[in-house]
Homo-oligomer: A and B are copies of this chain.
Amino acid sequence: MLKLNKNANTNILIIGLGLLGGSYAKALKKKGYHVEAITLEQSSIDYALEHGIIDYGTTAVDPEVLQRAELIVFALYPKVLLEWIQANQHLLRPGTILTDVTGVKGAIVGKVQEMLREDVEFIAAHPMAGREVYGVENSDDRIFEGANYIVVPTERNTEPAIALCEELGRELGFRSVSRLSPEEHDEMIAYLSQLTHCIAVTLMCCHDKKSLEAYTGDSFRDLTRIAKINDAMWSELFMMNKPALLEQMDIFMDKFQQLRNCLVTENVDEMREMMRISTKRRVWFDK
């Protein structure tokens, strides 16, 4: 089984050289790994080569590149990932380890593992890091510092592949590496990430008033930073996690209604109790 070894120049292939793929490449190249990339745009390859982010890159699904790869990281939209594997898995070298960065797992991991050849292994991961800009030009390996990395194994995964994936998270520079099942992951992500994006989008949809900027404080800016959102990708992620996201949206609405009722009935004690609970719990999430 493959072990990550920068001295032995472990050959890592990034498929999809956008913000996250580029940030992976940057971090791994700095650590001494041999990093190649397959991506759609030649301009992304050119940029990455000029800036020393990759060792080699191509826009073609080149069988030679795939035969060289020991570890492949898919940094693609969820549906594109499924299509890519369907179309190209016959080109993989036996023993290759595949991993990903996809933000939903239940709708992806099972399907990939189901269709995949027996002699390669897909171990899912979700790096909880990102930015509100796109493309390899904006890639930045510092986004992993202090961030969380989640490995999402199933019963089809082997312990060495899981361990390799965890090692990858540590090599990338994540502060915390942990494991969740696909179901646990999707419930967690519905609350911590998808619900927060729903809220940010909703907040910006409430009013069409540019002049408000002159009165804005940091709280509004903080709550809407992620309202700049890649609508193609996030709508796909939301749809692929529909039941879990709906559940979290409903929990949120219930609690919001509870707070609203405190205001209507002037129940200041209950309102303050909710505030004390939130203050106490928020301390857990300080970095």
Contact = CB atoms under 8 A, between A and B. Distances in A.
12 contacts: A180-B215, A192-B216, A192-B219, A200-B278, A204-B282, A205-B258, A205-B259, A212-B285, A231-B271, A235-B268, A246-B263, A253-B257
A242 B259 CA distance: 12
A249 B263 CA distance: 11
B256 A198 contact: yes
Nearest to A179: B214
Given A207-B191, A219-B226, A231-B279, A213 B256 contact: no
Contacts of A50: none
A212 B192 contact: yes
A209 to B, nearest CB: 9
Contacts of A189: 215
B235 A205 contact: no
Contact of A246 (B130, B208, B260, B278): B260
Contacts of A199: 199, 203, 223, 256
A235 to B, nearest CB: 5
Sort A-B residue pairs by CB-CB distance and give the 7 closest, nearest first. A204-B278, A231-B275, A128-B217, A231-B272, A227-B278, A201-B278, A227-B282
Nearest to A208: B281
A170 to B, nearest CB: 14
B213 A285 contact: yes
A259 B196 contact: no
Interface in A162-191: 176, 178, 180, 188-189, 191
B256 A204 contact: no
Contacts of A281: 204, 208, 210, 227
A205 B272 contact: no
B202 A252 contact: yes
A85 interface: no
A47 B49 CA distance: 56
B196 A212 contact: no
B253 A253 contact: yes
A274 interface: yes
A105 interface: no
A259 B207 contact: no
